[in-house]
Each structure stands twice: as C-alpha cells, then as structure tokens.
Structure 1
Amino acid sequence: MQFNQLLFFWYFVVFQRSVYALLDNAKSILPLQDSNGIIRVTDANYDELKSGVFDYYNILFITTTKSNKQGLVCETCNKFEPIYRKVSLATHQQAPGAKVLFFQADVSENRKLVKEIGLTTIPHVLVFPPPQLGDEFKWSKSEFYQYELNSNSVKTPLHFGDFLAKILKVYIGISEDFEYKEFAIYFAICVIVFSILKRKVLPMIPNKSKFFCGLFSLGIIMLSITGFKFTQMNGIPFIARDSKGQIMYFSGGMSWQFGIEIFTVSMMYIGMGLATLTLIYIVKTGTETRLKNGAMIAISCLVYYTFSYFLSCFKIKNPEYPYTI
C-alpha cells in the first residue's frame, strides 16, 4: 500500500513538473513576438521553439529573403509575407483569447530546420494543432494543416484569413489595402464612357425623360427576374471563391446563386435585347447597302454568340439541360 502511494506521489510530482515546464516555456517564448505577433526562428532558438507551446496552435511560415544560386528571388515569399503579418496582427487584435503562435523561419538562417524537416522547396505555411501533455511534439514529425501558396492565394489576405479562422474557430476581419492603380484605371474608364455618352449618345435621344424612365424601369425588371431578392433574403455573398482562390461566377444547382450572377445574367439579357432591337432597327431603315448587310451579319453573330454563351452558363446550373448551340 505504501509503495502504491509513493508511486502515485512520484507520478504526481513528475506531472506537476511537466506542467510547470510547459508554462515556463510559454512565458519564455511569448516575449519573442514582434509588433505583428510573429516570432522569428533562427538556429539559435530553433531547439527551444521546435517543440511548440502547450495548448497553442503553431503556425510556421517557411520562407527566404535571399536569392538562390542562380540569382532567382522567391517572389511568392515576398508577396505573402505582408499578408502573413497582416493576418497575424488581425488575429491577435481581434481574437486575443485564441491560443496561437505565429512563427517565421528564413531558410538562410535555419540550417537545423531545413535538415530536420527535409525541405527541398519553399515557401510553406504549416499549421500545427496544439500539443497536449504527453505528446512528443516536434515540427519535423507532428501532423499539420498546410496552406497552399500559389499566384492566387498571395493576392489578398482574405483567403488566408478565412483558412485560419476556420481552423481556430474564431472570426478574423481583414481590411484590404486601397488599390490606387486599380481605382485610377476604373475611374479613367468611367470618365471616358461618361464623356462619350454625354457628347455622342445623349444628343441623339429626342425625349430624354422617357428614355431615362425606361432605363430605370428596365433596371428594376432585371433585378426582379434575375433573383436579386432571393440573394438578399437568404444573405448569399456577392462573390465566392473556390479552393484555388478563383472567383466562382456561377454556383452549381438551380436552387442557389451568388450575387455576381445577378449582374452577369442581367448583362447577357440586356446585351441580347439591345442587339435584337438594333437588328430590327437596321432592317426597317435605309436601303440595301454593303455596310447595312455587314452590320446585320455582325449583330446576328453577336446575338448567336451571346445566346450560346448564355446556354453554356445555364449548363453549369443544370448539367442535364439537353439543348445547346
């Protein structure tokens, strides 16, 4: 009986020391975080960090800041680093209770990491679940989730933030940086279109009030027949992305649609309608000329192509639809 009590006491002491050691490990590692909440991994601290921290998610970004022997620079590494820092800062600010540690390892400073993990390519983002008591946790051996880095995933922090939020089961709101170049391009296009409409199109319209009333009515009709209220009532997102981060313009199935489908389908309806009206107008006016015949052929081909594209989009929604052009 005394032997069993001593054995139990010994196990208790060992367990208590293990817990204290893990807590001390956390206290020594947490101060290493920089202003964005990221811990820089080097050969000097690798042995201390590679075993993780008890009950904390470990997120490891393996990258490089130097060029290889051929003088090539890792463009994906450079593009993703500000995204990684932004998501790390947002996670710490918006979910302070989340037990997660962000690590960044430059392979030029981490020969031990490269050797133990057996790295042959970069970059990588590995998400390790929290190690528990009794686990033999190491970055080189433990299971992890991997975030795929490609040309699409390094364009915006939203994709990585969503990936991480699902794993951590928290909400992470990411604000995108204002794209001045993109804004300037769209602004210039709008100014050009507005100028053409004002100087060329509006003078050709005899009754502007009727024209704009008709245009407004057409917009309401388009919103009604394309399912705007359906997406609004069901809180369906305007844009969705697939696993590769690419925009999905059409959802599968007839009982569901993304918000962007409203505008896509509306533009196809309006395009086919305007082309058909223009074709009727050309037929009724003027005499037979080569220019008139050429315009009729061109518009007919446009209507044919647009309707063919419309049917191909409808096939995405209903693959069993039998009619195509």
Structure 2
Amino acid sequence: MLSLRILSALLLPLAALAAKPSGDRFADFHTKPQPLKLDDTKYTSLTTAPRDYSSIVLLTAMDPRIGCVACQAFAPEWDLLARSWQKGDKQGKGRVVFGTLDFADGKATFQSLMLQHAPVLLLFRPTKGPDAVPDPSPVRLDFATGSQSAESIHAWLSRHLPEGPRPRVVRPVNYMRIGMITLLALGTVSAISVAGPYILPLIQNRNLWAALSLIAVLMFTSGHMFNHIRKTPYVSGDGRGGISYFAGGFQNQFGLETQIVAAIYGVLAFSAITLATKVPRIADERIQGFAVFTWAGIMYLMYSFLLSVFRFKNGGYPFHLPPF
C-alpha cells in the first residue's frame, strides 16, 4: 500500500506536466483526434484571434428532437473528411484544425452568430504569420444547395485555405458491397451457364424477334409515346352524354384511340403476313381461295375503317371506302 502511494506521488508531477498546455494552441489541438468536439469555451479558444492556423468549424444540431435531416446526413461525411485530412497531414504542415460544435453544447455561440438553421460551416483563416489575411471574419458555407459530400467540402476548402498540403479524402473499403457484387456476378455466370442451352435457342428464334419488333412498331406508330409525353386522357365525353373515342385534329388524341389504331395496324399486318406466307402453303385449292378472299376482305374492312378514322380527325380529307 505504501509503495502505491510512493509511486502515485512520483507520477503526479509527470501527469500534471503532460496535462499542462504547451502554449502552442495549434499543437494542442492538432494532437487530438479530429474533428474536435467543441463547446462554447473550446470554440472560443479555437477561433479567437490572433491565430497562426486555420480552423474549420461545423455548426450542427444532432439532437433527434430538432429533426435536422441535413445534419444527420452530413455527419459521417464530415467525420470522414476530418480524419482523412489529419491522417494525410500528420505533421500538421497545413496547420488546419477541424471542430464540431453541436447546438446542445454551444447555444451561446449559436445565439451570438444569430443562426436560424444548421448545418453551417465556418472557415477561420490565419490572422498572423505568412498566411495571415487582413479580414479576420470567417468564410461561411450554408448548405442551402442540398446535401454535401466530403469531396465537395474538400474542394471548397482547397479554394479558400492558404497554400499547403491538401490531403485527399480516403473512403474506407466497402467489403460488403464488393462481396455482394462478387456473389451477384458469380450467380449470374452460373445461371447463364446452366440455363444457356435452354435460353440460347429462344434468343435465336427469328419469329420471337419478329413478333417483338412488330409489337414495338405498332406501339410507337400508333402514338403510344405521345400519350406519355402529353398525359392525354383515356376517353372524353362527346357533350351529349356519350363517350368520344377519337379526338379531332392531329394534335390531340385519346388513350383508347391509340389502342384502337394499334389494333387496326396489327390486324392489317397479320392479314398481309398470312396472305404472303401462310395462304400459299395451303394444298387444297378451294380452301386456299376461300382464305385469300377472307383475309383480303378483312384487310379491306380494316383499311376502310382506318380511312374513316382519318377523315374524322381531318374533316377535309376527301377519300373513303365503303362501308365506313
């Protein structure tokens, strides 16, 4: 017990010496992990002139009851920037100190600055030494343009700080993301290798690609994109208690009108394809003749209806085909 007391008495002067400030404010601040957690007193000590270093202070409000979403979102980016800067400039050649003052710890400072929102970034440049500036007031960055990243704040600081090191932002390796991408890539390769013999014939099927191409052509030639761009109504009233399926004029159309026109085009295309490819293969002449007249009649009726729709949209069009 006596030996412990003697040891404590011997170590007490050393502890007091270690806790005693060195007289160089920058050295005292720089040796601590960045960003420094500040209160009103430490903020004053860090920013009071004269100073031969640059101090960067983030004024924030992390209390969930305040509900500062921007403060919560920027906090990890700010910590990453401060740690990267301190790690990249271990010798302190750039003479830069980072600090964070939360509203809960610095209400007097917030009131003196008359801050009505957060976060706000203040850059205090040196007031003495070779990099001193004549104006001691801080350079202020408000987050009015949205959320900021560590890289964007790094670029802003690089424009305003004196000459010196500009340690880059080093983001930690996201092993989870790398693992997920690797697993996804391996899973995709495995799925392709297993399902390849079944999928390849389907991809190489000309009829499938012809059908998909025909559907795409019918959609876009009938005005499908026009409906999405103009946000056209599906149908409209005709003023007499009924429904109007077609809109007059070439600058107007309805959603149902587009579907009707696409169906007409589809029937016409299917009729032409059948007459050109299927009907000639019919061995029975009577059935072949009946098929020719049937599909030709369908084409005639659909084209007649299409002309009637065109005349409705353009009243001056002089041509038509009976029965429409």
TM-score, with length taken from structure 2 = 0.48
Larger Rg: 2
